[in-house]
């Protein structure tokens, strides 16, 4: 586990964008395609904006497959849609072949049927895609945010989806609107080559401490169960979100205090 702390959201977002480009170039040096599951919510928007502006020419977008880690079960043009946010922040800026962009479907009456459709699509692209469990996909990056309650993707504390080991994609319920969600499961997230969490804001400090310094407990704090089976987990935090870590016996890095950084 790597924990890097930055002065604020802008620096943390930039670190995330730099890491995306670095991972992409390393991966495309040995594989034909790069697959990422992107996060929704508000935090990653700035990271996507940086990718779509400053780093736009650094990325061979035609070799990138974009999946979603989760989605609110609303139309893609809805203001709450994670796909809409990503589209506004990045897709409007870069020309990615439409066949490379795989939003979660939200049009079916039955959300679990939509989840099954998405799983079928992922299986057609990613089955047997790499290291780890033979029946799980190896995404190159899973980018996550985290809620103040410790949820990641749309896996919320107490959800039975946290114990799902067979499905790749499930329909879940959120405690706030839009309640209906679709989400990758922890099994898929933990089978990734790199799991990257971008978390900022003091309201998340307690969950950050719990997730990083506490024992894994998926039902109580889903983020604490983000423990890749063979990949790497990296946290990019701002100082506010990391404020309770300073006393924990966690190795923390402050890249802004030194050259380079992940």
Over its C-alpha atoms, the chain yields an Rg (Å, rounded) of: 17
Kindly tell me the sign of the dihedral angle through the C-alpha atoms of 108, 114, 116, 117: positive
DSSP type of residue 103: P
- From 100-108, 109-117, 143-151, 238-246, span contacting ligand 6PG (CB under 6 A): 143-151
Choose between 64 and 241: whose C-beta lies nearer to ligand 6PG. Answer: 241
Inter-axis angle of helices 45-52 and 9-28, nearest 10: 60
Asked if 106 is part of the footprint of ligand 6PG (rule: CB under 6 A), the reply reads no
Other Cβ atoms less than 10 A from the Cβ of 164: the count is 18
Binding mask 200-219 for ligand 6PG (x = CB under 6 A): --------------------
Asked if 19 is part of the footprint of ligand 6PG (rule: CB under 6 A), the reply reads no
Among residues 16, 145, 157, 261, the one that binds ligand 6PG under rule CB under 6 A? 145
- From 131-139, 147-155, 186-194, 218-226, span contacting ligand 6PG (CB under 6 A): 147-155
CB within 8 Å of 200: residues ≥ 6 apart: 8, 9, 12, 43, 237, 238, 240, 241
Binding mask 54-73 for ligand 6PG (x = CB under 6 A): ----------------x-x-
Q: In what order do the strands lie in the sheet with 2-6?
A: 2-6, 232-238, 194-199, 141-144, 34-38, 64-68
- From 35-43, 103-111, 131-139, 161-169, span contacting ligand 6PG (CB under 6 A): 35-43
Choose between 101 and 146: whose C-beta lies nearer to ligand 6PG. Answer: 146
Residue ranges binding ligand 6PG (CB under 6 A): 39-43, 70, 72, 82, 145-147, 151-154
């Amino acid at each position: 586990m790597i924990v890097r702390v930055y002065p604020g959201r802008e620096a943390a977002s930039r670190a995330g964008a730099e890491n995306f480009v670095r991972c992409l170039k390393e991966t495309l040096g040995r594989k034909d395609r790069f697959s990422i599951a992107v996060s929704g919510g508000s935090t990653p928007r700035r990271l996507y904006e940086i990718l779509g502006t400053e780093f736009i020419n650094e990325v061979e977008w035609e070799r990138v497959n974009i999946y979603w880690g989760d989605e609110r079960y609303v139309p893609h043009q809805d203001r709450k849609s994670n796909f809409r946010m990503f589209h506004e922040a990045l897709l409007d800026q870069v020309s990615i072949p439409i066949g490379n962009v795989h939003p979660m479907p939200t049009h079916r009456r039955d959300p679990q049927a939509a989840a099954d459709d998405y799983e079928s699509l992922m299986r057609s692209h990613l089955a047997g895609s790499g290291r780890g469990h033979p029946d799980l996909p190896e995404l190159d990056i899973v980018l996550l945010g985290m809620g103040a309650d410790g949820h990641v993707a749309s896996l919320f504390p107490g959800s039975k989806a946290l114990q799902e080991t067979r499905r790749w994609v499930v329909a879940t319920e959120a405690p706030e609107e839009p309640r209906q969600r679709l989400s990758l499961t922890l099994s898929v997230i933990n089978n990734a080559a790199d799991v990257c969490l971008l978390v900022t804001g003091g309201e998340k400090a307690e969950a950050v401490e719990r997730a990083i310094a506490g024992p894994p407990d998926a039902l109580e704090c889903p983020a604490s169960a983000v423990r890749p089976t063979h990949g790497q987990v990296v946290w990019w935090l701002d100082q506010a979100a990391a404020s309770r870590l300073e006393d924990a016996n966690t190795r923390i890095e402050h890249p802004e205090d030194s050259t380079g950084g992940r």
